[in-house]
Amino acid sequence: MGAEARQPNGERYDYNALCLATNGQLEEVMRLGVPPDMASLVGWEFKGYNVLEPAELLGIRKFKKGFYLEDPGRDAALGICGYNVQIHPNTLGEPWIDKTRKGEPIRHGWYDVYPVSLSEIDNKYPNALLINYGLSPKNFVLDPSRLLRDYIVQVYPDDPDLVLGKAHAALGPMRIAINFFILGRHNESTV
């Protein structure tokens, strides 16, 4: 068994500890994580927290990511789909409350999820799954979210509910790191 990510005090990370960790600590967790099992993501929404301070000013510090199978007959190991849900801004300790329109959560930023391939340009974390916003036909062609490429890892092999992500912007052949984000299993998806 490989090394396991630990806080400076020696304890395992939980959701809140990851939200408060430094970028250096999060990078170590990212490198030590394992790819989440895509089948275990399907049918769930995960509460999300962007660690980058300006996310607070933009009202996007808190969000949710949902995962589903576009074709229920498809093998989830080949790839799944997902979306983001807008959340009312509040502090880390307060509940994640969906913003709604006509009684439905506001979903946006659709994406495809699949294992990282070393033969592709988006291969920075071979131990991760890749969330690719550029592939989903549900995003408007000029939607800036199409530039996003997120890597996600399960922090501990025995805890499928705690996930760390790192967002990058795809600008031609360049990939620019933007932000770490934390995901925690939250509620079943209705998609």
Banded model confidence at residue 75, pLDDT cuts 50, 70, 90:
confident
Q: How far apart are CA 128 and CA 164, in angstroms?
A: 10
Specify which residues 87 forms β-bridges with: 98
d(CA 33, CA 153): 5
All structural domains of the chain with their residue ranges: 15-188
Model pLDDT, residue 1 = 55
Q: Which amino acid is at 62?
A: K
Determine the distance from the C-alpha atom of residue 133 to the mean position of all C-alpha atoms in its chain, rounded to a whole number. Answer: 12
Q: Is the pLDDT of residue 55 over 80?
A: no
Looking at 2.40.50, 3.30.1370, 2.40.128, 2.30.180, the CATH number of the domain 15-188 comes to: 2.40.128
Residue 89 has pLDDT above 80, yes or no: yes
List the structure tokens of 37: 């099992």
Residues in the chain: 191
Q: State the CB neighbour count (10 A cutoff) for residue 37.
A: 13
Give pLDDT, residue 148: 96
Determine what percent of the chain is predicted with pLDDT higher than 70. 96
| Among the ranges given (34-38, 77-81, 108-112), the one the predictor scored with the smallest mean pLDDT | 77-81
Average pLDDT, the chain: 94
pLDDT score, position 57: 63
- What is the value of pTM for the model shown? 0.94
